[in-house]
Amino acid sequence: MILTKFVKLRIRPIVLKHYLSLGYNIKVNDIAEILVEHLTDGSHVLIWVQCDECGGTKQIQYNKYLSNTKNNIRKYTCSEQCSHNSNKIKETKKELYGDDNYHNIGQMKQTNLERYGDENYNNTNKNKQTKLLNHGNENYNNRDKFKETMLENWGVEHPMYCEEIIRKRIETQTRMLYDDYIEKLPDFKKYEREVLKFTKKQSLSLLKDIEKRSPYDYHLDHMFSITEGFRQNISPHIIGDIVNLEMLPWRENQAKYNKSTMIDSKLFERYDNRDSLLKQLTEDYNKRQNSTILSF
């Protein structure tokens, strides 16, 4: 089951037509909020999903979800084990009853007859009576109350629509800080590797203080952090790009941990002006070289 309702993503030229045809009023490079169901089938965007077998939640790419569920036809299972378990139950039912959706109606009737003296007994009336007594309304439904509370406390109706709730839930379940949890996800590791791959390809020698790079001196820092980039589905190309890089004294870099020292709009602005930023970096680099020569 998909838990994420909307995702924010940067519109690439190749998908523009798709979203325009769905009625989105957007252009290339916009950061748009897209309903998950509207994503292209091949989308690599990360979404939160819940295993239909064990109930565990995790983040995976949308296209992976589709292939796991055979385009939403089958249940989503988070692991080999869960997939096995889910099939096993069906297989057993099929073996025993020749129908994988078999429910033991005969057995239910028998139990009802024994317990209540009526094979068609069902609890609905009893429920209605209880609701009438407790809430003054036989059709009372806790969902409305639940929604109300959710709206009051979180500004959303469903718990999964709110990142803060996901964060709290994960922290309670895992007894880990949310950020630490994110960094342990296999998908995060994959993302981080991608970012570093692009980082390595940059003209790092242009960066000020690059010559001081060492574990106990200066560190290469991603100003918009990799963790935050992962969380906001920002392309690893952009996070790993030189426009997002600076050298930081290692103590400062440690204190910063996985926080960003830049907001996303600033990051995209820098990426859009990459050429002039590179020109500036080159000019500064040349100035430093000249002054070094002069000082000898």
| Interface contacts to Zn ion, rule CB under 5 A | 51, 53-54, 56, 78, 82
Smallest separation (angstroms) from Zn ion to the CB of 10: 31
CB nearer Zn ion, residue 79 or residue 129: 79
Which of 90, 86, 79, 84 is CA-nearest to residue 56?
79
CB-CB contact of 47 with 9 (8 Å): no
Smallest separation (angstroms) from Zn ion to the CB of 51: 3
Beta bridge partners of 7: 34
Which of 108, 286, 142 is CA-nearest to residue 205?
286
Distances (CA, A) of 196 to 78, 158, 217, 254, 277: 27, 36, 20, 18, 20
CB nearer Zn ion, residue 50 or residue 61: 50
CB nearer Zn ion, residue 29 or residue 50: 50
Instruction: Compute the distance between CA of residue 172 and CA of residue 187 in angstroms, rounded to an integer.
Output: 21
CB nearer Zn ion, residue 54 or residue 220: 54
CB nearer Zn ion, residue 47 or residue 281: 47
Smallest separation (angstroms) from Zn ion to the CB of 260: 32
Smallest separation (angstroms) from Zn ion to the CB of 74: 13
CB nearer Zn ion, residue 79 or residue 130: 79
Smallest separation (angstroms) from Zn ion to the CB of 147: 28
Instruction: Compute the distance between CA of residue 141 and CA of residue 124 in angstroms, rounded to an integer.
Output: 13
Smallest separation (angstroms) from Zn ion to the CB of 230: 22
CB-CB contact of 195 with 208 (8 Å): no
Contacts of 150 by beta carbon, 8 Å cutoff, 6+ apart? 156, 157, 158, 159
